[in-house]
Amino acid sequence: MKNRLILLMLLSLATPGVLFAEEGHNHDAGDGMEDFSGIVMTEEKHDHDDEGHQHEKEGHAHDDDGHEEKGHDDHGGHDEEDDDGHGHGEEASAAELSDAQRRMAGIETLTAKRQSLGRAITAPGEAMLNAYRTTKITPRTSSQVMKRHARLGDHVKKGQVLVTLSSVEMSEAQGALMEASIELRRVEKLGRKVVSEKRFVAAQIAYQQAYAKVSAYGMTKKQIKSLLKTGDATRAIGEFQLLSFQQGTVISDNFVVGELIEPGYVLMEISDETVLWVEARLTPDDAARVVLGAPARVQVGQRWLSGKVAQARHTMDETTRTLAVHIEVANKRDELHPGQFVTAVIEGTEKQHGIAVPVAAVLRSPDGDWQLFVETSPGRFEPQEVTIIATVGDQMLIEGIAEGVTVVGKGAFFVQSEMAKGGFDPHNH
């Protein structure tokens, strides 16, 4: 068998392309060659394909790496383009508003001017009623409360009826007035030819005295006229009404219907709370630097109310060793209430110099600096960083802008909001 295999190998070498089938097979030489060569070639091809496939894998992996790197490069390039080209993420450098927007937002501009303001004096304070805008309703004679016409917290007008009273003294005074009125009409009707001068003068005096008495007890001219118009002495029952001397709010009503009231007893207290006082306690040194009429600001929670110094006491408090000043504060929105503790800032006499603008005109920029908005052209507002020197009253002294430029004095927050909106996409994409 070994020899036969050697012989076959020698024959195959001697006759290329001819291969004899193994024993037990009847395939012809062509079939055998085809099978053999096909097997050999197929195996070689597989090896080559495997190498090529491996090469393709390596190439694919290389392409993937290249794709990832390219993706990073593209993304980085996009960010750079956004920052440089489109400015995404950057704040807009200006805001442009139409006339309609300015009116809607209440934007007001002013010309920046250099001024001198006094150094701020800060002190604790307490809100209290404005004594010059407060009245007390009291009877002038012993009376009984017959009817209540206003209640605690009611807003009343000047001349409005508050309470009806009845008094024995008033009844007597009303009766005397009715008699004096009847006598005066009688002598006037008879005339001076019939009535002596003495009787005529006496009738006039009696009427005037009776009229003054009921008026002093609390009857108004209108009430007296209505009583006399009846001409009926039986109407002198002693009832009369107390009226409000002013417009304001009923802040106290310490009585009940049917109660007997003595003269001077405070039935009601009416006060105009649209203007209150804040009593600030100052040291003697600080008080010496405050003058009447000086601007002031009062902090109520997170809000600031403007006011001015209306009064200054000259007597020192024995307990606190401080001097009190009264700051008059407008309170139309009812933000301040008597008894409320606040912080007061008053402008002193020591002056500081700078560009003066309203406090509301200066805001914090996104990076934390102080800024205001300058109108560079009609409707166009650009932010300008400034330095705050001092805040006094409702004014602020700053540096960083030139005198004479036009700035937003009211509505700066709206301008800042519009500019922030534009900062996200100034090209309106």
User: Do residue 277 and residue 416 come from a single domain?
Assistant: yes
User: Do residue 142 and residue 218 come from a single domain?
Assistant: yes
pLDDT at 288 over 60: yes
pLDDT at 38: 38
Share the mean pLDDT of the chain. Answer: 79
Instruction: State CA 378 to chain mean position distance.
Output: 27
User: Do residue 202 and residue 249 come from a single domain?
Assistant: yes
User: Do residue 305 and residue 406 come from a single domain?
Assistant: yes
Are 97 and 381 a contacting pair, CB within 8 Å? yes
Indicate whether this model's pTM tops 0.75.
no
Range of weakest confidence among 82-86, 141-145, 214-218, 419-423: 82-86
User: Do residue 309 and residue 406 come from a single domain?
Assistant: yes
- Domain membership of residue 36 as a residue range: 2-76
pLDDT at 347: 86
User: Do residue 251 and residue 337 come from a single domain?
Assistant: no
Identify the domain boundary among 237, 271, 305. 271
pLDDT tier, 261 (very low <50, low <70, confident <90, very high otherwise): very high
Please indicate, yes or no, if residue 366 is contained in any of the structural domains: yes
pLDDT at 5: 52
User: Do residue 55 and residue 103 come from a single domain?
Assistant: no
384: CATH:
2.40.30.170
User: Do residue 114 and residue 144 come from a single domain?
Assistant: no
How many domains does the chain fold into? Answer: 3
User: Do residue 277 and residue 396 come from a single domain?
Assistant: yes
Half-sphere exposure of 296 (CA within 13 A, CB side): 33
Query: Would you tell me how many other CB atoms lie within 10 Å of the CB of residue 426?
Result: 17
Please indicate, yes or no, if residue 100 is contained in any of the structural domains: yes
Can you tell me the distance from the alpha carbon of 215 to that of 225, in angstroms, rounded to the nearest whole number? 11
Please indicate, yes or no, if residue 362 is contained in any of the structural domains: yes
User: Do residue 281 and residue 354 come from a single domain?
Assistant: yes
| Residue 22, phi then psi, degrees to nearest 5 | -70, 160
155: CATH:
2.40.50.100
pLDDT tier, 55 (very low <50, low <70, confident <90, very high otherwise): very low
